Structure 1
């Protein structure tokens, strides 16, 4: 079995599928099992993965060195003495049909690169805006020719709202999920959320408009936990795709037997 792992800023997502099915058409995002846990619950995944007969592991991690070590130790418990290297996904100049246009390709967040690979694999030969609305919101442009052009990073919807409430005198802490039906709110809680949603939607709309300046129709792909809150406030239709990073890792797995830096799990 192939085990894909996406360690994000807040949660760890994972998916399992038979390696033999990688070459089958329409297999992207179709897994035998998958799930998501908070960082503190990573140890609980050992029991879930132990009986999966894992033969290959590909990981994306933007949660830091401590999370990497925790995942390595968890996988050591799962794999035991089996010689299964851990393939750590990193951003490189070119991979799986996508060219990385960052000035320093290695500086691009591996989650953003994986998401762009997934978007390109799902919608080849289309100009794309890939907006992931999570702890942070990233808005990235991919050309129809398969070039990651660049993008934007801004605080996510929840982080933006809580930061405003925390750092402005007498403003309440509000939930980012507070319904907003008009841009001009008549009470402070809704005014905070309305402003934050307008900022998120505005960044995405600005990116789509800039990418469409060449005249081609741009597909806007939305992913992440806050996507459903932002979508109704956009002036155009979008394509919702969950688990873009995992789909990107699956695309990379299908493109080569091994193209990533590998390590063996440490002693824990």
Structure 2
């Protein structure tokens, strides 16, 4: 099995993967050594990969090195099994690149649009020739709710909702539907324009808030909550072999 540690903007996710399958995982706001030690006790871990969007995490890396035989730190210099044409690869979120790699594993030879509903909403394109073509970033659902509450005098702090509708009959409903609809309409518009430009476009939803939009957005959508895990494991295996030297 492989250990994946994915430190995101809001959550730290650690998981044991075996042949792309999540055996067990732990999610917290910070890296939790006790929980990860529990994962390591579940079985024989061959390798581990550490990815962080919060900058380098030397303490976490050192803790992992003492407990696994092989640790890969995922940095902008790490070889990946896809072509990356992003002009500033050093500023590219590692989760975005890992998701792009994961898309080529799940849908090889396809044009894939990845919509990640996390702290930010990111929309990224991977083409059928396994090339990452970049994308866009906008505020995520929680950021939009927080901004309305923090930057106004009286608007309440609301939460995501599955309820659909265009008009709210209370201020809380108006805020909730405004935010949820704004994200849905944004994604629908982006997908519509991309489908007009790219044949056979496959759309993947991932990220913590994806569950609110899979049914709300009326397109053929694939949902994959483990897309980043899948990509990180592929990167780990790629670097553990001599494949990238070919």
TM-score of the two chains, using structure 2 as the length reference: 0.87
1: CA distance between counterparts of 2:35 and 2:113? Answer: 33
Which residue of structure 2 lines up, in the alignment, with residue 69 of structure 1?
A: 58
8 Å Cα contact 2:114-2:203 kept in structure 1? yes
SS in 2 for 1:197: helix
Instruction: Report deviation, 1:2.
Output: 2.2
1: CA distance between counterparts of 2:6 and 2:31? Answer: 14
1: CA distance between counterparts of 2:96 and 2:26? Answer: 19
1:88 to 67, 73, 78: 73
Instruction: Report deviation, 1:50.
Output: 4.4
Instruction: Report deviation, 1:34.
Output: 2.3
1: CA distance between counterparts of 2:190 and 2:8? Answer: 23
Instruction: Indicate yes or no: 2:43 matched with 1:59.
Output: no
Instruction: Indicate yes or no: 2:115 matched with 1:131.
Output: yes
8 Å Cα contact 2:114-2:204 kept in structure 1? yes
Higher RCO, 1 vs 2 (CA within 8 Å, ≥6 residues apart)? 1
1:108 to 92, 100, 115: 92
RMSD: 2.3
1:203 to 163, 168, 186: 186
Cα pair distance change 1:212/1:91, threshold 3 Å:
farther
TM-score of the two chains, using structure 1 as the length reference: 0.81
Deviations 1:244-267 (A, max 9, x none): 1110011123334168xxxxxxxx
Instruction: Report deviation, 1:16.
Output: 2.2
Which residue of structure 1 lines up, in the alignment, with residue 11 of structure 2?
A: 11
Q: For structure 1, which segment, 106-115 or 85-94, has the greater mean C-alpha deviation from structure 2 after superposition?
A: 85-94
Query: Tell me, which stretches of 5 or more residues in structure 1 are unaligned?
Result: 19-26, 260-268
Instruction: Report deviation, 1:133.
Output: 0.6
1:43 to 12, 33, 50: 33
Which residue of structure 1 lines up, in the alignment, with residue 128 of structure 2?
A: 144
Cα pair distance change 1:89/1:258, threshold 3 Å:
farther
Query: Tell me, which stretches of 5 or more residues in structure 2 are unaligned?
Result: none
2: CA distance between counterparts of 1:14 and 1:188? Answer: 38
